[in-house]
């Protein structure tokens, strides 16, 4: 199964119908450590579907959502997409804190990331679940649909951390998916950031993305995004260069001592 940005014991698998629980059990078993949540009236079915992994609750499913949001990093729901929208809507915060949520149909045909696809890991989880049960992951984020770079995921599997405001992430992400010229300036870190990309990338690097090894090699007025992989600080840049690119500069920090 594909690697995930969280441990399996941080994943809740939820279903509320007899047939849905059978599928949820398959998913939970494919994610050892995950926990299956189902209504108490289906306790026997849940325990048979996922022995030792079932947690059954009394009352409304809606009443379980706040606790699931707080206790888990991801939720896989064998529940209709519309029903899940209504269940989670009152509890949405922001993309930095909301769990990744994936919805599946009872037939197990489609795995749909519906919340926190990138930072929350729902896209990666949908891919992993689809791989495990023979479903189709339905990825609607532009970078995944077009198999291009996701600015907020670059280097995550390699332990990199990025520095940029939300406004800059939005602007640079738009530049990537709208085929504007994008400079990736790599001064340090592993060169395997494309093949090892979160969600998987197997094709060639898109033509609008240029990789260079020196930040002074870029044309500051040409590039819609500058993605700088470095151990240096922005204060080391020439003042004119920094002023020209500050509103579209994302800095990535590989861990000190990481493999180059």
Summarize pLDDT for 28-73 with one digit per residue, the tens.
999 999 999 999 999 999 999 999 999 999 999 999 999 999 999 9
Most confident segment among 9-18, 88-97, 110-119, 152-161: 9-18
Rounded CA separation 197/118 (Å): 12
CA-closest candidate to residue 12, choices 86, 83, 70: 70
Statement: the pTM of the whole predicted model exceeds 0.85 = no
**Residue 101 scores a pLDDT above 60:** yes
Nearest-10 Cα torsion for 154, 155, 160, 163 = -10
In the predicted model, what is the mean pLDDT of the chain? Answer: 91
72: burial class by Cβ within 10 Å (0-12, 13-18, 19+)? Answer: buried
Instruction: Name beta bridge partners: 112.
Output: 103
Show the tokens assigned to 132.
């495990």
Which three-class secondary structure state does DSSP give residue 130? Answer: helix
| The pLDDT value given to residue 146 | 79
Cβ within 8 Å of residue 71, ≥6 positions away: 12
Dihedrals φ, ψ of 247, to 5°? -85, 0
- Mean pLDDT on 233-258: 90
**Residue 121 scores a pLDDT above 70:** yes
**Residue 199 scores a pLDDT above 60:** no
Q: In 10 A of CB 188, how many CB atoms?
A: 15
């Amino acid at each position: 199964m594909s690697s995930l940005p969280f441990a399996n014991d941080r994943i809740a698998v939820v279903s509320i119908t007899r047939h849905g629980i059978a599928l949820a059990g398959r998913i939970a078993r494919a994610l050892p450590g995950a926990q299956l949540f189902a209504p108490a009236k289906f306790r026997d079915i849940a325990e048979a579907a996922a022995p030792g992994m079932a947690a059954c609750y009394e009352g409304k499913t809606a009443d379980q959502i706040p606790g699931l949001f707080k206790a888990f990093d991801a939720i896989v729901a064998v529940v209709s997409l519309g029903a899940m929208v209504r269940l989670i809507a009152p509890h949405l915060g922001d993309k930095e804190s909301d769990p990744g949520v994936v919805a599946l149909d009872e037939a197990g045909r489609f795995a749909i990331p519906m919340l926190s696809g990138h930072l929350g890991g729902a896209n990666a989880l949908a891919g992993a679940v689809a791989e495990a049960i023979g479903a189709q992951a339905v990825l609607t984020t532009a970078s995944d649909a077009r198999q291009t770079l996701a600015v907020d995921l670059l280097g995550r599997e390699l332990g990199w951390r990025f520095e940029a405001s939300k406004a800059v992430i939005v602007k640079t992400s738009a530049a990537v998916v709208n085929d504007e010229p994008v400079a990736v300036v790599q001064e340090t870190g592993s060169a395997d950031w494309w093949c090892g990309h979160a969600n998987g990338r197997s094709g060639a690097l898109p033509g609008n993305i240029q990789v260079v090894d020196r930040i002074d090699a870029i044309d500051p007025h040409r590039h819609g995004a500058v993605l700088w992989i470095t151990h240096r600080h922005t204060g080391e840049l020439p003042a004119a260069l920094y002023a020209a690119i500050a509103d579209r500069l994302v800095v990535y920090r590989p861990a000190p001592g990481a493999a180059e």
